[in-house]
Structure 1
Amino acid sequence: MGKRLQSKILIFALITNVFTVFSYQIENTANIVNNDNIVSNVIHPKLILTAQGVEDIREQLGSIPIFDKTLAKVKAEVDAEITAGIEVPIPKDYSGGYTHVRHKQNWVILQKAGVLYQLLDDEKYAKYVKDMLMQYEAIYKTLPVHPKTRSYARGKLFWQCLNDSNWLVYVSQAYDCIYNYLTKAERTRLETNLFRPFADFISIENPQFYNRVHNHSTWGNAAVGMIGLVMDDDELIQRALYGIPGADLDRNAKDDDGGYINKDGKAGFLANIEEPFSPDGYYNEGPYYQRYAMYPFLIFAEALHHVKPELGIFNYKGGVLLKSINALLNLSDADGDFFPLNDGQKGMSYYTSALVTAVDISYHFGGQNPELLSIAKEQDRVLLDDSGLAVALGIKNGFQEPFNKKSINLSDGPDGTQGGVSILRTEDLELAFKYAAQGSSHGHYDKLSFSLYEKGEEVIQDYGLARFVNIEQKGGGNYLKENKTWAKQTIAHNTVTQNETSHFTGKYDIGSLHHSDLHYFSSENKNVQVVSAIEENAYPGTTMLRTMAIIKDADFEKPYMLDIMKITSNKANQYDLPFYFLGQVLQTNFEYKTPQTLKPLGTENGYQHLFVEGIASGNNDNSKLSWLNDNKFYTLTSVTRANDELLFTRIGANDPDFNLRREPAILMRRKNSKQTTFVSTIEAHGSYSPVTESAVNSNSSIKAVKILLDTDDYTVIAITSVKDNTKLFITANRDAMQSTVHKLVVDQKEFTWEGSFVLIENK
C-alpha cells in the first residue's frame, strides 16, 4: 500500500473518530432525525453491517492492514463507477450479454457503495445508491418479463428469476445502509414501487421458482427475507422462512437443469437448510453449487441473527450452516479448487467472493477457529463488515494457524443416511470418492465414481459440467445440451457402465429415489487409508462393491492407489470401466491398433461422444499404461484377462460446435460376465525437468498385481514391487465391523486380523 493511500486511510480514521464521538451514536440510534426532518425509530444498518460494527470499524481504520487494503480497493472500484455514471438499461440479454452484465455490476456496486457510505460517512455514496435505486424504481413496475424465453421462471431484470433474486439480496444491503439517509417519502416510493413488487414477483408470481428446495429457491428466499428485514415487513419474513402456503405447482414443470420441481410441500429458507444439508454439512448438489448457495444462506442467516436473534439461526439443525463451511473447505484440492462432483465448473475455488463471506462469517460466529485465518490471509481480502473486522484483527494479532485438510467422510441426505463423499489424503495424493445420493437436478449418474489428484493437479479427472458460464457465445452462458448427453452420463465418469446404459437409465425420477451405502471408511492409519461403498440399485439385479485405498509403502517413492470394483449380477452383462487420465501416453505393455478413421464408440448414453483411438486385447496377467502429465509420471496397472478389450478413447465425437474438451481415457471392457472384479493400481512416481531435460524414476515400481482370492466374503489382492516384496491387501466384503475378528487361509497360510481390512507383508 502506498504512503499516500495509507495517509488517506489514517485521515479517514481521525475524522470518523470525531464523528463517532459527537454524532454517530445520535445519528444511528432510536429517534434519529433524518435529512427530511422525519423522525425514524429504526436502527440502521442492521443486516450485515450493524451500528455498533460501523463504530468499531471506524475506530480501527488505518490500523488493520487486510481490512484497509480491501477498503481501498473497493473505494477505487466504486469511485470509478460513480465517475462513469449510472446505467440502468432495458433488459434484453442472456448471461454474458451487455444488459445482463450491467445489471449484475450494478447490484455489486450498489452494495459496496452502501457500505462505503457507512464506513467513510461520505454522502456521495449514499446519493449514488439513492439515484440508481430511483432509476430502477422508475422502470420496474412497467417492465415486462424478460424477453428471453428459455427459463422456467423468467425474471424482469434478468432472463431468470434466479438473477433477479441475486440482485435483491445485494441491493437490500445497500438499502439498509442508506435507509436513514433517505426521506420517509423516498423510502415509501422505493418500497411501494420497487422492493415490495420485486419481492412479490419472484415469490408469489413465480412459485415454481420460489416454493421448492433448490439453490435457486435459497436465493429467492434470502432476497424476500432480507428486504423484509430492512422494511420490517413480517409477512415477507415469514414468506422467506416458510415459503408460500398453498402454492399450486405444476407437477410436470421442470427447471432449466431438467430436474422436477419440489412437490412435497416443503419450501422456504428453513426447508432449504433441512433438506439439502446432511448433519455433516455436505450439500447434496455438490461443492460447486454449495459454494454458490453459501452466500445467500450465510448472509440471510447473519441478518436473521442480528435482527431476529430469537430464531437461533446459527444453531438450527445442529448448527449445520457453520458445519457446512468446514465441509466445503475440505471438498477442495491442495490448491483450493473444489472437486467437480455433479455439475461443477473446474477452477472454482475458495478464493471466490462467496467463500470470503463463508470464511469470515464462520470465523466470527463459529468460535473464531484460527485455521480459518490462514485461508482468509490467502484470500487477501475480507468483508467490510463486523465479521471482516474480526478476521482482520485476528490476522493482525497473528492468531492464524495452517488449515489442515485431513481425510474426511461426509454423509449425504437430511439425516445422513443417503450415502456420502469420502476424501482420502496421504502426502500429496488426494482421492475423491463419490457414493452419494443423486444431487437433485444437478446430479450426475455416476455411483461409486472417483477422481485422483497430486499436489492439486488432476491425475484421473472427473469431467465436471458442460457449460461455459457467462460466456455468451456458448449458448448464452447456460448449460449446453452436451451436459445431458455427455457430462451427466455414467460413461463420462470413472465408474462401471453396464451394457452401455447409464445408471438408473439416466432418468432423474429413478435416480433420485436411490443412493449408495457406505461399507466402511478408515483413515486412522496414515499409511493405509480405505473407503468402501456398495451400490445395489443402479442396475436391477446387479450389485457393485468398490473398495479404494491410498497406500504408503517404503518400496515406493510416493503413495499409490488401489482400486477394487467387485460386480455381482443375476445375468451376464458387458461392463465398461474407464479411467480419464490426463497427459501424454508414454508406454504400454500391450500391443494396440490405431484405426485410420475415427469412429464413435456407440450411439447413445454418452458413448456417441467418444472416439475410439486405439484397440487392444488385455494381457493374461497385468496390463500397464504409463503417461506423463505436468512433468510427473504415472502408471496404471490392471489385472486383465486375454479376452478383455482395452480401448483408447477421446472425448469429442458428435460435437460439431466443439462444446466438449478433447481429453483421453483408457477403457476396460469385459463381456459376457455375471460375477467379475476389476482390480487396478495407480502410481505417482518420478518427475521430468524440461530445463535439465532429465527424467527421474520414470518407471513403475509395481512388478505384479494379482487376485489371490475373491469370494462373497473376502477379496485378497497381492501387490509385488520391483524389489520382490509382496503385500496382501484383504478386504471384508460382507462383515466390515471394526470389532469383527477374521480368520482366512490364503495359499495355505492363515491370516488373522480385526476390522474391515488388513495390509500384510507376505513373507
Structure 2
Amino acid sequence: MSYQPLLISFDEAAQLRNELGKNTLLGNALSRDIKQTDAYMTEVGIEVPGHGEGGGYEHNRHKQNYIHMDLAGRLFLITEETKYRDYIVDMLTAYATVYPTLESNVSKDSNPPGKLFHQTLNENMWMLYASCAYSCIYHTLSDEQKRLIEDDLLKQMIEMFVVTYAHDFDIVHNHGLWAVAAVGICGYAINDQESVDKALYGLKLDKVSGGFLAQLDQLFSPDGYYMEGPYYHRFSLRPIYLFAEAIERRQPELGIYQFNDSVIKTTSYAVFKTAFPDGTLPALNDSSKTISINDEGVIMATSVCFHRYEQSEVLLGMANHQQDVWVHSSGQTLSNAVADATTIPAFNWGSLFVTDGPEGEKGGVGILRHRDAQDDDTMALIWFGQHGSDHQYHSALDHGHYDGLHLSVFNRGQEVLNDYGFGRWVNVEPKFGGRYIPENKSYCKQTVAHNTVTVDQKTQNDFDTATAESKFGQKHFFVADNPALQGMSGSISNYYNGIDMQRSVIIAELAEFEKPLVIDVYLIQADAEHQYDLPVHYNGQIIRTDFDYQVESKLRPLGQDNGYQHLWNVGSGKVESSALVTWLQGNSYYSLITSAVEDSEVIFARTGANDPEFNLRSEPALILRQSGKNHVFASVLETHGYFNESTEASLSARGEVKSVNVMGHDEVGTVIRIETVKGNDYFFAISNEAESKHAQTRTVKFDSHYYTWTGAFAQVEQSEVDPASK
C-alpha cells in the first residue's frame, strides 16, 4: 500500500497498539483519548452547527468536532476499530454537504472571517486537524467519497486561504504559521503538491516573502525567542510540529528538522527554558496565568525533541512533570524512557539570557535560577526586549504590554512577585464573547499593572504602539557562573522622555538566611524632577509592616487613567529610611524591604476600581512612591518561615532583614547595604559603567567610605581607607 497517513505510518501504528492498556505515559494517554473520543461520539454524534459567537456553542462545537476527528483518526490506525473511521467519514461528509453554500461568518475582530468561525485562524486549525484525520482514513475511501470531501470541502478551504485571503497567507506571524501548516498538511493529505509548495515556499515560491521556511527563518530570535512572548510562542509549536512531521515523512530530502541550524529545536527550547519551576509559563505580554508546559504544543515538542534531537535528563524531567506524551512514535520513545528511568530529577534549565529581535539585537529576557539543598527552586525574571506587538500584521492585534524592566519572582512552588497577565476570559462567551475584555487595554497592558517603575503616573512610550516598536532594552550584564551569587541587569532609555533606567537583580545565597535573597536595584537617571512609582504585585495577606499607615474609610481610585483608574487606594503610610512589608502566601512568609528617602510613601492598592462588569480579578499591590530627579529603589525580597493552620504551626514569621539603604550611586557604580536584626551588614556593589568595563577593578567613595570590587557586581566590604593609598 503506497499511501501512508501523514503523522503515523501503518508500522508505527502497530507499535503503538502494543501500548494499549499499559500503565505508562503513552498507555495512559491512549486510554484518556479513547474514553474522551468514545464519549463525544456517543453523546454528540454528527452535528454541523451554524454561525455563533467566538467561544459560544457553535464555535465550540466546530472546535470539538475537529479535535475529535483528529483523535479518532489516530485511534482508528492504532486500535483498528472501524467506528472511528466511520465517525470521520460521516463528519467530513456532513461538512462537505453544507460548506459550499455557507455564507461567511461575521468577524468580531480584525482577523477576516471563515465560513465556520468568526476568524480564519480557527478555520485554519479546523482544516489542519480535519486533514490529519482524513489522511488516516484515505486508504479506506471510495473515489466518490474522496471527490465529495476534497472538492466540496478541503479544496474550497485551500482556495479561501491562498486566494481569497492571499494577503494574509504570507504574513510572517503565528497566525501565518497556522495558515501555511493547514494548507501544507491538507495538500499532502489530498496529494496536491502545488498547494504544499505554496505552503512551504510562499505564494511567490521564493522561500523569503512567505511560506513555512520563511516563517522558521524570520519569526524567531537567534535564541529562538518569539517577540509576542511564551503564551503565543507555545501556540505556534503545534503547527510547527504537525507540519514538520508531515514534511519529514513526505519530503525527507528537505531535512526540515535540521533546517536553519535546527531552528525547530532552538525555538522549542526557548519556550521550555522560560517556564517557572511549577511548569507555568511567565506572563510576558498578552498571556494567560494558567498556560503551562502541559500545553498540547509543548507536549508535542517535548516528545519530538527527545525522539529526534537529544535524549536528555531535563526533557525526561519535563515529561515526568507533564505526565503526558504525544500519541505518536516520538511519544512512545519518551514514554519508554520515563518508564525505564530509576530516578528523574525535577526539570531545571538553569540560569540563562534569551535574546530578542531577528538578530538578537533587541534586548531579551534574563532568568536566574537557584536550587537549594531542599530542592526548592528560586527563579527571578526580568524582561527588557522589544515591544511584543504584531502591529506589522494588523494594527488592532497588538499583544504587547508596556512594561520594560518588569520583574517576576518564584519560589516555594508559587509566583511571589507576579504579572497580572492578559484581560481575557478565553472561550467564556458571556465575558465579551471570550475575546479580550476592554480592561485589557485600560489596565493589563499599562505599566502600572506590572512590577516596574511608572513615571508621573504615565505609561511607558505614551501607550503608543508605533513609539514602543521603535524602542527596546539592552542587556547590561548577565553573570550566573557562581550559583551562590548570580546577577543580571538590563536598561531602557527614553521609554519616558529624558529618563534612563537600569534594573539589576541579584540572587544571593547567604548563610544567615534560610532562602536566597532576591536583591533588586532600580536606578533612574532623569533630566528633571518626577514622581516615581514602583508597583509590587503579590498575592497573600499582609502580616506586618515596620511603619504606620492609614486605611482609607472610603475607597477611591488612585488616578484617572493609565491603569491607575482601576486601582483602589486602600491605604498609605509615609516612610523615611527603609520600609518593610511582610505578607503570608500559602505556607510561606515573604518580606519586602525597600530603601526610602524623605517624603517616601507606601500605598496599598487593589484592582477592581471602575470595573462595572467585574472583569478584573481582585488582587493586591504595593506602590512605593518617591519624587525626585535621579533615584535608586533598592529592595530585598526575603523568603522565611512556615505556616500550617491544620497543625497550628507558625515559624519565623519575622524575617532576618531589618533595613535596606542606598549608600550612594554615581556613573561608576551603586552600593547598597542590607542590615539584619542580628546587627550584621551586607554590602553589594553594582557597576553602572558600560559592559566592556565590567572586568575592571573599581573603587567608589560614598560618605567617607570606600568600596572596591571587580566585575559587573559583587558582595563588597566597607572601608574607611582608600585602597589606592595602600
Structure 1 match to 2:133: 174
Amino acid at match of 1:426: H
Taking the aligned partners of 1:176 and 1:706, their CA distance within structure 2 comes to: 66
State whether structure 2 residue 712 is matched by structure 1 residue 753.
Answer: no
Matches within 5 A, 1:187-586: 187-207=146-166, 209-245=168-204, 266-398=209-341, 401-402=344-345, 403-427=347-371, 428-440=377-389, 441-586=398-543
C-alpha deviation, 1:84, in angstroms: 3.3
Equivalent in 704, 708, 711 of residue 659 of structure 2 = 704
**Contact kept? 2:185, 2:246, Cα under 8 Å:** yes
Structure 2 match to 1:25: none
**Contact kept? 1:274, 1:414, Cα under 8 Å:** no
Taking the aligned partners of 1:214 and 1:192, their CA distance within structure 2 comes to: 29
Taking the aligned partners of 2:155 and 2:194, their CA distance within structure 1 comes to: 11
Worse overlay, 479-488 or 713-722: 713-722
C-alpha deviation, 1:583, in angstroms: 1.1
Taking the aligned partners of 2:141 and 2:205, their CA distance within structure 1 comes to: 37
Structure 2 match to 1:38: none
C-alpha deviation, 1:138, in angstroms: 0.5
Q: Secondary structure at the match of 1:723?
A: coil
Structure 1 match to 2:584: 628
Q: Secondary structure at the match of 2:285?
A: coil
**Contact kept? 2:594, 2:635, Cα under 8 Å:** yes
**Contact kept? 1:727, 1:762, Cα under 8 Å:** no
| 1:269-308 Cα deviation digits (max 9, x unpaired) | 2333233312222221111111111111111112112212
**Contact kept? 1:155, 1:202, Cα under 8 Å:** no
Change (3 A) 1:82 1:635: closer
Structure 1 match to 2:641: 686
Q: Secondary structure at the match of 1:436?
A: coil
C-alpha deviation, 1:59, in angstroms: 5.7
State whether structure 2 residue 631 is matched by structure 1 residue 676.
Answer: yes
Taking the aligned partners of 2:245 and 2:325, their CA distance within structure 1 comes to: 16
Matches within 5 A, 1:731-746: 731-737=686-692, 738-745=694-701
User: Across the two proteins, how many residue pairs are aligned to each other?
Assistant: 704
**Contact kept? 1:64, 1:392, Cα under 8 Å:** no
Amino acid at match of 1:54: A
Structure 2 match to 1:4: none
Taking the aligned partners of 1:266 and 1:740, their CA distance within structure 2 comes to: 46
Equivalent in 657, 664, 668 of residue 713 of structure 1 = 668
State whether structure 2 residue 82 is matched by structure 1 residue 123.
Answer: yes
Taking the aligned partners of 1:219 and 1:78, their CA distance within structure 2 comes to: 24
C-alpha deviation, 1:231, in angstroms: 2.1
Amino acid at match of 2:666: T
Taking the aligned partners of 1:90 and 1:79, their CA distance within structure 2 comes to: 20
Change (3 A) 1:500 1:271: farther
C-alpha deviation, 1:365, in angstroms: 1.3
C-alpha deviation, 1:467, in angstroms: 0.5
Taking the aligned partners of 1:604 and 1:85, their CA distance within structure 2 comes to: 48
Taking the aligned partners of 1:133 and 1:630, their CA distance within structure 2 comes to: 50
Taking the aligned partners of 1:150 and 1:299, their CA distance within structure 2 comes to: 27
Structure 2 match to 1:6: none
Change (3 A) 1:90 1:161: same
Equivalent in 573, 591, 598 of residue 642 of structure 1 = 598
Amino acid at match of 2:645: P
Taking the aligned partners of 1:735 and 1:96, their CA distance within structure 2 comes to: 50
**Contact kept? 1:647, 1:667, Cα under 8 Å:** yes
Taking the aligned partners of 2:686 and 2:44, their CA distance within structure 1 comes to: 67
Identity among equivalent positions (%) equals 35
TM-score by length of 2: 0.93
Equivalent in 50, 69, 76 of residue 9 of structure 2 = 50
**Contact kept? 1:468, 1:478, Cα under 8 Å:** yes
Taking the aligned partners of 1:370 and 1:471, their CA distance within structure 2 comes to: 38
Worse overlay, 699-708 or 601-610: 699-708
C-alpha deviation, 1:415, in angstroms: 1.6
State whether structure 2 residue 41 is matched by structure 1 residue 86.
Answer: no
* Structure 1 portions without partners, runs of 5+: 1-28, 31-42, 248-264
Taking the aligned partners of 1:237 and 1:510, their CA distance within structure 2 comes to: 38
Structure 2 match to 1:727: 682
| 1:592-627 Cα deviation digits (max 9, x unpaired) | 2222221111111111111111122222x1111111
C-alpha deviation, 1:649, in angstroms: 1.3
Change (3 A) 1:348 1:149: closer
Amino acid at match of 2:273: N
C-alpha deviation, 1:61, in angstroms: 5.4
Taking the aligned partners of 1:573 and 1:246, their CA distance within structure 2 comes to: 54
Amino acid at match of 1:630: G
Change (3 A) 1:339 1:594: same
| 1:8-31 Cα deviation digits (max 9, x unpaired) | xxxxxxxxxxxxxxxxxxxxx33x
| 1:49-75 Cα deviation digits (max 9, x unpaired) | 124422433466566833233223222
| 1:124-154 Cα deviation digits (max 9, x unpaired) | 2212211110111001111111145445311
Q: Secondary structure at the match of 1:204?
A: helix
Taking the aligned partners of 1:181 and 1:151, their CA distance within structure 2 comes to: 40
Taking the aligned partners of 1:556 and 1:392, their CA distance within structure 2 comes to: 40
Change (3 A) 1:757 1:109: same
Taking the aligned partners of 1:752 and 1:601, their CA distance within structure 2 comes to: 43
Worse overlay, 482-491 or 115-124: 115-124
Compute the RMSD of aligned alpha carbons: 2.2
State whether structure 2 residue 134 is matched by structure 1 residue 136.
Answer: no
C-alpha deviation, 1:508, in angstroms: 1.1
Taking the aligned partners of 2:561 and 2:209, their CA distance within structure 1 comes to: 36
Amino acid at match of 2:713: F
Structure 1 match to 2:723: none
| 1:663-684 Cα deviation digits (max 9, x unpaired) | 111112222x221111111111
C-alpha deviation, 1:641, in angstroms: 1.6
| 1:624-671 Cα deviation digits (max 9, x unpaired) | 111111131111111112212321111111100000111111112222
* Structure 2 portions without partners, runs of 5+: 372-376, 390-397, 720-726
Change (3 A) 1:434 1:85: closer
